[in-house]
């Protein structure tokens, strides 16, 4: 989508609107109690605003920016890292229990992340060694000529005379 439509703010808004429509359809099918749909000026409104603005809008914009700058692999590799951050945040803030399997899974995810990034770095290095440079190598010195304003005045007068002569020749 970024190649065909490079406006990442508009594509982010489009993805969020489509996600909201799908979520609304799902919620209408699952939640029958209409009192649960009311949002007051409490934590529920703050939660919805946070999820809509930061968790969806800002995240999609940053991901599309990373994809455009570094490529799709670089941005998609960090999605598993989100699971690790959620597990540790849940443990710290919500007092959830962390099990040995969760910690080992987190370690494996981080190791996998760095192995993929290491491999991608080696691949990019190999590709740059195989491909010749597109910029020409300049080894000869460049001569710079500095002219004084009086020389430029004489040059411009000479050009004006040539133009006048060529106009007379054409008539």
Q: For 83-106, write each residue's pLDDT tens digit.
A: 777 788 888 888 888 888 888 888
Given a cut of 60, whether residue 154 has pLDDT beyond it is no
Contact 6, 68 (CB under 8 A): yes
Q: For 53-93, write each residue's pLDDT tens digit.
A: 877 777 777 777 777 777 777 766 776 777 777 788 888 88
Query: Which pLDDT score is estimated for 26?
Result: 94
Question: pTM surpassing 0.85?
Answer: no
Q: Say if residue 12 is exposed, middle or buried (CB neighbours under 10 Å; 0-12, 13-18, 19+).
A: buried
Buried b (16+ CB within 10 A) or exposed e, 17-31: eeeeeeeeeeeeeee
């Amino acid at each position: 989508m970024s190649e065909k439509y490079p406006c990442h703010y508009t594509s982010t808004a489009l993805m969020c609107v489509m996600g909201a429509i799908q979520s609304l359809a799902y919620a209408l099918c699952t939640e029958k109690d209409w009192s649960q749909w009311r949002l007051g000026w409490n934590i529920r409104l703050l939660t919805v605003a946070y999820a809509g603005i930061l968790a969806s809008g800002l995240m999609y914009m940053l991901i599309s920016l990373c994809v455009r700058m570094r490529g799709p692999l670089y941005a998609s590799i960090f999605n598993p890292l989100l699971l690790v951050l959620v597990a540790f945040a849940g443990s710290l803030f919500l007092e959830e229990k962390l099990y040995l399997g969760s910690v080992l899974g987190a370690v494996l995810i981080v190791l996998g992340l760095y192995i993929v990034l290491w491999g991608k770095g080696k691949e990019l290095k190999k590709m740059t060694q195989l491909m010749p440079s597109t910029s020409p190598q300049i080894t000869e010195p460049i001569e710079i000529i500095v002219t004084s304003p009086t020389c430029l005045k004489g040059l411009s007068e000479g050009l004006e005379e040539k133009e006048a002569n060529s106009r007379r020749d054409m008539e």
